[in-house]
Structure 1
C-alpha cells in the first residue's frame, strides 16, 4: 500500500470574514490557478503545527488554527489535503513562496477566481458561501 502524504490547507480568514486565496506561480502546470495556502506535514508534526509553520513560511504571517473542515481531499499521487479554518493574528500576507498574487475574497466572491481542481471540493466544504456556482 502506498503511504499517503498529508498536505494541510488553510482557510485563512481576516477580521472581516474574508478568505485568503493564493495564486500559484509554480510548478508550471499549476501556475495561474488559485488555492488555499498551506503545504506538507512533516513526519511527526501535527496538522495544526504544520499549518501555522506553512503560513509563516509562505505568507509571512502569524495565524491561529480554529477548527478542521470535515473531510479529506485527494490531490493525486498519494497526496491528500486536510483543510483547517484559521484566523490571521499578525502580519500582512505576502506571496513569499510558490505564489505570485494573493486576494482576500468576500464570501459572495469565492468563485471569482479559478481554483485548482483539487481545491474546489475543499472550498465547497467551507460552508454556504462555498456552495455556490461550481
Structure 2
C-alpha cells in the first residue's frame, strides 16, 4: 500500500482577525488543472512539518512570508481528501513580508471577496478544492 501524500495549502487572507479577502492562484500545470484556481501550497517533504512545508511552499510559489492562523478543520486528521492518494491540510495565513507574485506553477494571482461568496464560487476551482472553499466561506461568515 502506498503512503498517503500529504499536501498543505494556505488560505491567504488580508487579515487573520477579520478576513475580507482571499488570495487565490491559477494553475499552469499539470494539463488537467491548467487554468483552474487553487489554494497555494504543495507537498510536505520527508522530515518536514506541515507548517514548515507551507512556509517553504509560499516562499517558493509566491515569494511571501506569512503568519499562520488556525487550521481550516476538515473533520479528518489527514485533512481534506484531494484524491485516493492525497489529502490536504489548509491554514489561514496573513502575509508578513513580500509582494505576492506567480513565481512557480501559477500564471495569475487574484484577491477575491470573502464578504461576497459568489465572487469566490464563480471561479473555476480544482474540483477537490471547491468543498474547502465552501467551508472557508462558511467559517468566515460564522467565526468560531
Structure-1-length-normalised TM-score: 0.90
Q: Distance in 1 between matches of 2:113 and 2:6?
A: 28
| 1: CA distance, partners of 2:25 / 2:137 | 19
1:111 aligned to which of 121, 127, 136 = 121
Aligned to 1:46: 49
Pick from 116, 124, 134 the counterpart of residue 124 of structure 1.
134
Look up the SS of the partner of 2:136 in the other structure.
coil
Distance 1:40 1:70 in 2: 18
Unmatched runs of 5 consecutive residues or more in structure 1:
none
Superposition misfits of 4+ residues, deviation over 6 angstroms: none
Kindly indicate whether the alpha-carbon contact (under 8 Å) linking 1:124 and 1:130 is maintained by their aligned counterparts in 2: no
Query: The residue matched to 2:20 in structure 1 has which SS?
Result: coil
C-alpha spacing 1:24/1:59, structure 2 compared with 1 (3 Å)? same
Mapping of residues 1-134 of structure 1, within 5 Å: 1-15=1-15, 17-71=20-74, 72-107=79-114, 108=116, 109-128=119-138
What do you get for the CA RMSD once the two structures are aligned? 1.7
Equivalent-residue separation in structure 2 for 1:103 and 1:67 (angstroms): 22
Provide structure 2 residue ranges, at least 5 long, that are not aligned to the other structure.
none
Q: Report how far residue 43 of structure 1 moved.
A: 1.1
Q: TM (normalized to structure 2)? A: 0.84
